[in-house]
Chains A and B, each alone.
Chain A
């Protein structure tokens, strides 16, 4: 065959050609192999460290661990703010394909309100999507069990146990202890500004008001961290190392739970404040503002409905009346004014004036009558009588003669018109009026007439109950100014340490005997047969002293009669009382302020009496040992 022979003829040539091409191919393959190997060498040997690092960055994540928040305890070590394990249903948004569907499915197993869904959806907009976000907090045992059965159907949804803040005594301590709430944008900004943001990496709640806010940095503790191995879905597989968090500092108050509870009961429907303070070291013994509300509502995010109810109430429960309630101090400041006049030499203990029931500014054409609370007047009145019977005319005259500058300066020394330094941020300075203040506030000069009402603690003068407590303690301490404080000790790393009392520049008199005159007058107010607080304190088993006050909120024309029945409730008089006990060696100063209640002697003093009765009745009088600074008042356990 031609073709066959042709084929055979060329066979060897073709074989050589093929072999040549095969060898060329092998060389080509060899060089490409070297290219691969070179590249692998580059990756695995030259760049090993960099890829090793990146591989570890993939799998090792540092997670912050939330520290346990310090607890807040009462005088007896009872927990006022503690941490309770709670179960919450949490969702990691990143792992949910269809959020609405998932929420609907969960809703068929355990009840989820529209409100909860709304809050949840709003929250996930601002959070990192791979972090769990609570949908429903405080699950009941039944709900936990119900969901656990269906857990397998929901990836990215889980029940998380965590410690949540709990206030066992709820509304009794709201304004003092305060509460924590979810960290919001403003909190984040503040944390960022103070460089604390990193320490809050695992924290969800932050103190919002009260002690919880004031002592936030101490209560919070130090966030720990753990290195964990995660898979590509950020699921934690195991712990590699851990730096444990440091538990926050515990805080101790001098408030006795039982007394505080009684304070609320005694207040009843009255709006106002009760504050009791140990004049020796400024420790607050009662701190109650009425009306109040449940702080536990805020811990896990309050519902819009509940919040509207609180914020919308015309009784303003969120107002801390102890520190923010600005009341005319009324006659409760008469002791200070009397003291000032006495020490300035304007009067002596024997100076008397004639009280016909009204007073006029001398030497002025257009005469306005300033009236005494007692229409017929007190007749001849000296300093002692002016205090125990609370004569207004005496103080119109004194105020007129002292002038606003003296009064303002002296009042300021007692702490009026300024923050007391009490350890809550919700405090108002109230107003200690002065020429400068009026100029700044109203762009008007001070008129002589303005000074007259100041004499009876009204007009422009307002004070907070905590200021009254501080100024009354200043009288008790004969000029020593002690700042009030809720926290009296801390336990840090298991060691108790009493916190130091803060003092201010004392009020110094020309003659120290003047203190005794005033304190005696206050004693007479309570104990003398014609004292304004006599009825309220009848048959008390302890000795006490005090001063009543009744602030008119309703301006009467000079001929009008004040008639309780005719005056709308919100224009009724504020009742005030300041007092202290025992008279010989005071360990408690009490201030009661009641809004629109009526007279101080008839309404505020009886409440103060009840508190003092309990204070002595419960055996609290000798309980506080001020010399001890390193042992907690009572062991918590």
Chain B
């Protein structure tokens, strides 16, 4: 019976075009939602909403294209892509354009481009490639090498500085390692080490503005009109949404512009204000569905590389979600991470859609081992 279902799936048109229907439906749901929320958050600016539609369209295109590529292509090229990615990150530090106080962009003449976005995909691939070369769980030596691989892009991105992306990149690498069977002994040991490292991070590595964010996170009301303003207004927006929300386009915090960064990082606050707790639950349900679906794809994948890659991408998607919502609702310090697939903005959507493309490719490219 399982077999017949598998056969039915494989013969379907969706399968032929490497589309995972449940995942696709969930993504389309979020996209549709995104257009409406962006329209509201942007002060009912139809042009902004249309630009978002356009970007989502591009993202969808990227997804469809990426989905057609065999995962084994990535496996073959993973180390090369990774090396190129690291080189680009170095280039950013040397020649990059400044924007909002950070050096993140590489100007290619025709277009600007953020190499750290490549790393969001490249590092999981690299990790999956490296780990799947050897027996799982990885040996202590390989674990050490893995951490080196993670550290290189993470530190380069953190240096830009782009704390949010470096966090996402680091966690994607870490998830790969975890899924590959990182020993719990090492995990807890590292946890302890990290805790010990925190003071060094605080006193020597963090920028003043990053420290301020942490301090503000700990007590936003200490500076309600300054650094605490964002988070306070965000919590007011979310809290005042109540159970049912104020209704679409009716959120006073967002429509009257008390809420900053409404259409980008704080779009969840807009959504929460207008759709309330019930809307939030439904939204989280869609995200949970995507994560579960991604995990199922990872478990069903037949190769170590595809398993680890799919799992890492899925878990990283959750990190996006958790960091963004945690940030706007006051659980975490403010780090610039968009709400995946909903926030207004080009690069992150393309990267995310590419990662879903990879997931779909993995889900629909199963080498029949028996054959």
List residues of chain A with CB under 8 Å of any chain B CB.
6, 8, 10, 14-15, 17-19, 21-22, 25-26, 29, 32-33, 35-37, 39-41, 43-45, 47-48, 50-52, 54-56, 58-59, 229-233, 237
Query: What bracket does the count of chain B residues touching chain A fall in?
Result: 35 or more
The one of B240, B243, B329 in contact with A36, judged by C-beta atoms closer than 8 angstroms, is B329
Q: Is the CB of B277 within 8 A of A45?
A: yes
Q: Is the CB of B326 within 8 A of A36?
A: yes
Q: Is the CB of A33 within 8 A of B236?
A: no
With contacts A45-B243, A48-B240, A232-B258 taken as known, whether A40 is within 8 angstroms of B181 at the C-beta atoms is: no
- Complex: how many Å from CA A6 to CA B134? 10
Contacts of A36 in B (CB 8 A): 284, 322, 325-326, 329, 331
A47 CB to nearest B CB, Å:
5
List residues of chain B with CB under 8 Å of any chain A CB.
135-137, 175, 178-181, 233, 235-243, 252-253, 256-258, 272, 276-277, 280-281, 284, 288, 291-292, 295, 298-299, 304, 307-308, 311, 315, 318, 322, 325-326, 329-331, 369
Q: Is the CB of B291 within 8 A of A40?
A: no
Q: Which residue of B lies closest to A9 (CB)?
A: B135
With contacts A22-B311, A33-B288, A36-B322 taken as known, whether A44 is within 8 angstroms of B238 at the C-beta atoms is: yes
The one of B237, B243, B280, B299 in contact with A18, judged by C-beta atoms closer than 8 angstroms, is B299
Contacts of A41 in B (CB 8 A): 277
With contacts A18-B181, A232-B257 taken as known, whether A29 is within 8 angstroms of B315 at the C-beta atoms is: yes
- In order of increasing CB-CB distance, the 9 nearest A-B pairs are A51-B239, A55-B240, A44-B277, A231-B256, A43-B239, A51-B240, A232-B257, A48-B242, A14-B136
Contacts of B238 in A (CB 8 A): 40, 43-44, 51
Q: Is the CB of B241 within 8 A of A44?
A: yes
The listed residue with most A CB atoms (<10 A of its CB), out of B237, B242, B295, is B242
B181 CB to nearest A CB, Å:
5
A231 CB to nearest B CB, Å:
4
Q: Which residue of A lies closest to B252 (CB)?
A: A59
The one of A6, A18, A47, A58 in contact with B136, judged by C-beta atoms closer than 8 angstroms, is A18
- Complex: how many Å from CA A311 to CA B237? 58
Q: Which residue of A lies closest to B287 (CB)?
A: A33
Q: Is the CB of B179 within 8 A of A44?
A: no
Contacts of A6 in B (CB 8 A): 135
Contacts of B236 in A (CB 8 A): 51, 54-55, 58
Contacts of B308 in A (CB 8 A): 18
B188 CB to nearest A CB, Å:
14
With contacts A14-B304, A17-B137, A40-B329 taken as known, whether A25 is within 8 angstroms of B178 at the C-beta atoms is: yes
- Complex: how many Å from CA A230 to CA B236? 16
The one of B136, B243, B258 in contact with A17, judged by C-beta atoms closer than 8 angstroms, is B136
With contacts A37-B281, A40-B277 taken as known, whether A25 is within 8 angstroms of B241 at the C-beta atoms is: no
- Complex: how many Å from CA A48 to CA B175? 36
Told that A29-B318, A44-B239, A52-B242 touch, could you supply 4 new A-B pairs with CB distance under 8 A?
A18-B298, A40-B329, A44-B276, A44-B280
Q: Is the CB of A52 within 8 A of B256?
A: no
Q: Is the CB of B256 within 8 A of A237?
A: yes
- Complex: how many Å from CA A19 to CA B178? 12
B297 CB to nearest A CB, Å:
10
With contacts A36-B325, A237-B256 taken as known, whether A22 is within 8 angstroms of B179 at the C-beta atoms is: yes
Q: Which residue of B lies closest to A47 (CB)?
A: B239
Q: Which residue of A lies closest to B315 (CB)?
A: A25
Contacts of B180 in A (CB 8 A): 18, 21
Instruction: List 25 A-B pairs, Cβ < 8 Å.
Output: A10-B135, A14-B304, A15-B299, A18-B136, A18-B298, A18-B308, A22-B299, A33-B284, A33-B288, A37-B281, A40-B325, A43-B235, A45-B242, A47-B239, A48-B239, A48-B240, A51-B238, A55-B236, A55-B237, A58-B252, A59-B252, A59-B256, A59-B258, A232-B256, A237-B256
